[in-house]
C-alpha cells in the first residue's frame, strides 16, 4: 500500500523530532565561508526548527545563527517551504558573535584592519579575558585577533576552536586557549587544516596585521623590550612575510626539519666541535628555553615539532637558519680550537639571531615554537654546522635572505646587542660565549664578516683593523701576511697567530 515516503518515525531514527513534524526529510547543505554541513530536516519545518538542528551541528547558539537563502535572510517564523528550500539546495550561514545588532560588538575580537581600532579589538583577543564569554568567538567570517601566543593565535582561527570553546562552556578566554592548545597538541592535522584555511592564509599574508597582533600582546611587548632585534624583525615586512609563508606551509617546515635531522646526525662526526656545541647549547638552551617558555606559556607545538630534547626537529622556518657561513674560511681542517671557537661563535650568533625568543624567524611562535625548541637543541645546531660545512649553497641562500642580511648588519654594527643578548636571554646562567670576551669579539667579527661578506661593504683591512693593530704590536710586522691570516681565520687573532707562526719558515 502507499506509504508515506520516509515519514515513519520508527524508521527515521536520527531525525525523529523532524519526522514527528510530518513531511519528507530533505538534505539541506548549510554553508559558512569556511565550513559546510549537510543537515537532514523535515521539509515542512520552520526556520526556527532548522536553526535548532544547525545550532547542534555547528555548536553555536541559535540566536547567533543567521541564515540566508537566495539572497534573503530567513526569519525564525518563516518556513523552509515558503522560501523554496528543497532537497539538495544550499543555505548560507553566518554565525554572529553576539545576537546584538550593533556593529561594534558583532565584529569584536576579529582580526581588525591594521591601525585604527585594531588596538581595541586585538586587546580583546590578546589575552585580557573579555567580559562576555563568547567575546573571543569569531564566526566563520574571520579569525580573532591573536597575540603572539601560539594558542591564542590559533584559537582565533575559526569555528573549530571557537565552537569547541563554546561547547565547553568556558567563560574564560585563557581557558579556551588552553583547551585549544591541548586539542592542537593531540591533533596535528587540525593545525595543518587551520593553516590551510584560506582565511588564515589571508590573514597571515598581511604582515601589517600580523605585526599589530603581535605587538598587542603584552608578553610580546616585554620580549621586545628585552630584545630589540625582535622589534627590528617585526618592523621588517619582508621578514614577516617570509615568516608567514613558512607558517603557512607545513610542508616546507617539515622539509626543514628533515634537513635538520640529517645534518644533525652528520654533525656529530666533527671532532671536538660536537662537545663544544653540546656544552654551548646546554648552557644557552636551558635558560633560554625556560625563559621563552614562561613567556609563551605552554608551547603547544612542542608536540608537533618533536620533544625538545630529542629529535632535534629544527624547523628553521626560514632557510636562513641553516646555512650559516663557514666561519673557518676555506681551511676546513683548521684547528679544533678554531672550530670550537668558531662553533661557539656561530652558536652564539645563531642564538643571538634567534633573539632569545623561541623563534627569531617567527616571532609569532606559530608552529615555530618548535623552531625555538629546535634552536636550542644541540642536535639542531649541530645539523646547522654540518650543513654549513657541507653545503656552501646554503650559505648563499642564507645570505641572500634580505632580512638575514640586515639582521646581520645591524648586529654587526651594534656589537652591544650581540654581547647583550646572550646574557639577556640567559639570565640564570652565563652562556659560555657571552662570558668569554675573546669569543665575544669573535662573534662580533663573525657578524661583521657575515654582514660584510654578503655585501662586501667593507674590505678585510677595515674589518680587521683592530686585529691588525694587535698583531703588529705583537711583532708580526708583515701586514700582508697578517691580513691573510686574519681573513683565513675570520678575524680570530689567536688562530691567526698560529697560522703566522706555523707558516714562518721565512
Partner 1 sequence: SAAAADVPRNFRLLEELEEGQKGVGDGTVSWGLEDDEDMTLTRWRGMIIGPPRTIYENRMYSLKVECGPRYPETPPFVRFVTKINLNGVHNSNGVVDTRAVSALAKWQNSYSIRVVLQELRRLMMCKENMKLPQPPEGQIYTN
385/263 Cα distance (integer angstroms): 8
Q: Give whichever of 29 and 478 is closer to partner 1, judged by the CB atom.
A: 29
Closest contact distance (angstroms) between CB of 159 and partner 1 is 13
Q: Applying CB under 8 A, does 107 fall inside the site for partner 1?
A: yes
User: Any contact of residue 470 with partner 1 (CB under 8 A)?
Assistant: no
Q: What are residue 289's phi and psi, to 5 degrees? A: -60, -45
CB of 249 to partner 1, least distance (A): 22
Name which of 119 and 430 has its Cβ closer to partner 1: 119
Among 113, 222, 455, 472, binds partner 1 (CB under 8 A): 113
Among 51, 96, 232, 248, binds partner 1 (CB under 8 A): 96
222 contacts 295 by C-beta, under 8 angstroms: yes
Please state the closest distance from residue 173 (CB atom) to partner 1, in A: 19
Instruction: List Cα–Cα distances, 402 to 80, 239, 345, in angstroms.
Output: 57, 8, 22
Cβ(398)–Cβ(325) below 8 Å: yes
Closest CA to 157 of 204, 95, 107: 204
How many CB atoms are closer than 10 A to CB 87?
A: 12
Report the site for partner 1 in 8-67 (rule: CB under 8 A): 29, 31-33, 66
Q: Of 114, 119, 138, 141, nearest to 206 (Cα)?
A: 114
Considering only residues 192-251, where is the footprint of partner 1 by CB under 8 A? 199, 203, 206, 209
CB of 94 to partner 1, least distance (A): 6
| Sites for partner 1 among residues 121-150 (CB under 8 A) | 138-139, 141-143
The count of chain residues that interact with partner 1, using the rule CB under 8 A, is 39
Q: Establish if 285 lies at the interface with partner 1 (CB under 8 A).
A: no
| CB 30 to partner 1: min, Å | 9
Q: Are 131 and 225 in contact (CB under 8 A)?
A: no
Block residue for cell numbers 652528520: 266
Contacts (Cβ under 8 Å, ≥6 apart) of 90 = 28, 29, 30, 31
The interaxial angle of helices 392-400 and 378-390, nearest 10 deg, is 100
Per-residue b or e along 378-388, where b marks 16 or more CB atoms closer than 10 Å to that residue's CB: bbbbbbbbbbb
Query: Whole-number minimum distance, CB 25 to partner 1, in Å?
Result: 18
Q: How far is the CB of 226 from partner 1 (least distance, A)?
A: 30
**Closest distance between partner 1 and the C-beta of residue 51, in Å?**
15
- Alpha-carbon distance of 64 to 93, in angstroms, equals 10
367 contributes a contact to partner 1 by CB under 8 A: no
By CB under 8 A, is residue 73 in contact with partner 1?
Answer: yes
Which residues would be at the binding site for partner 1 (CB under 8 A)? 29, 31-33, 66, 68-73, 84, 88-92, 94, 96-97, 101-103, 106-107, 110-113, 116, 138-139, 141-143, 199, 203, 206, 209
Amino acid at each position: 500500500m502507499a506509504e508515506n515516503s520516509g515519514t515513519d518515525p520508527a524508521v527515521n531514527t536520527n531525525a525523529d523530532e523532524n519526522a514527528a513534524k510530518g513531511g519528507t526529510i530533505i538534505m539541506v547543505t548549510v554553508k559558512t565561508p569556511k565550513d559546510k554541513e549537510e543537515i537532514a530536516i523535515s521539509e515542512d519545518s520552520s526556520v526556527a526548527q532548522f536553526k535548532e538542528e544547525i545550532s547542534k551541528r555547528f555548536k553555536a547558539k541559535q540566536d547567533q545563527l543567521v541564515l540566508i537563502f537566495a539572497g534573503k535572510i530567513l526569519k525564525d517564523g518563516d518556513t523552509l517551504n515558503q522560501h523554496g528550500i528543497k532537497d539538495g539546495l544550499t543555505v548560507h550561514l553566518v554565525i554572529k558573535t553576539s545576537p546584538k545588532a550593533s556593529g561594534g560588538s558583532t565584529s569584536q575580537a576579529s582580526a581588525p584592519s591594521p591601525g585604527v581600532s585594531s588596538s581595541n579589538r586585538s586587546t580583546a583577543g590578546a589575552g585580557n579575558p573579555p567580559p562576555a564569554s563568547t567575546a573571543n568567538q569569531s564566526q566563520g567570517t574571520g579569525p580573532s585577533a591573536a597575540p603572539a601566543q601560539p594558542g591564542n593565535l590559533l584559537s582565533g582561527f575559526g569555528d573549530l576552536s571557537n565552537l569547541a570553546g563554546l561547547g565547553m562552556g568556558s567563560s574564560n578566554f585563557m581557558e579556551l586557549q588552553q583547551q585549544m592548545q591541548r586539542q592542537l597538541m593531540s591533533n596535528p592535522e587540525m593545525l595543518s587544516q587551520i593553516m590551510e584555511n584560506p582565511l588564515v592564509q589571508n590573514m597571515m599574508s598581511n604582515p601589517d596585521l600580523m605585526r599589530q597582533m603581535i605587538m598587542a600582546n603584552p608578553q610580546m611587548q616585554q620580549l621586545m623590550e628585552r630584545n630589540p632585534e625582535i622589534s627590528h624583525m617585526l618592523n621588517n615586512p619582508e621578514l614577516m612575510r617570509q615568516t608567514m609563508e613558512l607558517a603557512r606551509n607545513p610542508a616546507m617546515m617539515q622539509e626543514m626539519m628533515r634537513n635538520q635531522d640529517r645534518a644533525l646526525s652528520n654533525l656529530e662526526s666533527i671532532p671536538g666541535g660536537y662537545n663544544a656545541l653540546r656544552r654551548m647549547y646546554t648552557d644557552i638552551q636551558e635558560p633560554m628555553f625556560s625563559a621563552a617558555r614562561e613567556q609563551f606559556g605552554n608551547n603547544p607545538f612542542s608536540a608537533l615539532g618533536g620533544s625538545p630534547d630529542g629529535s632535534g626537529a629544527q624547523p628553521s622556518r626560514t632557510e636562513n637558519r641553516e646555512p650559516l657561513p663557514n666561519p673557518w674560511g676555506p681551511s676546513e681542517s683548521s684547528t679544533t680550537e678554531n672550530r670550537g671557537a668558531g662553533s661557539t661563535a656561530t652558536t652564539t650568533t645563531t642564538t643571538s639571531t634567534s633573539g632569545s625568543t623561541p623563534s627569531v624567524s617567527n616571532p609569532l611562535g606559530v608552529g615555530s615554537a618548535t623552531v625555538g625548541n629546535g634552536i636550542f637543541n644541540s642536535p639542531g645546531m649541530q645539523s646547522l654546522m654540518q650543513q654549513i660545512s657541507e653545503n656552501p649553497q646554503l650559505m648563499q641562500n642564507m645570505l641572500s635572505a634580505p632580512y638575514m642580511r640586515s639582521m646581520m648588519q645591524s648586529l654587526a654594527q651594534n656589537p652591544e646587542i650581540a654581547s647583550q643578548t646572550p646574557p639577556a636571554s640567559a639570565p640564570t646562567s652565563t652562556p659560555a660565549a657571552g662570558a668569554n670576551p675573546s669569543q665575544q669579539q669573535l662573534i662580533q667579527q663573525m657578524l661583521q664578516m657575515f654582514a660584510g661578506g654578503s655585501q662586501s661593504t667593507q674590505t678585510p683591512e677595515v674589518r680587521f683593523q683592530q686585529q691588525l693593530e694587535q698583531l703588529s704590536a705583537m711583532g708580526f710586522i708583515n701586514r700582508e701576511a697578517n691580513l691573510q691570516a686574519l681573513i683565513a681565520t675570520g678575524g680570530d687573532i689567536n688562530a691567526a697567530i698560529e697560522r703566522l707562526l706555523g707558516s714562518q719558515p721565512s
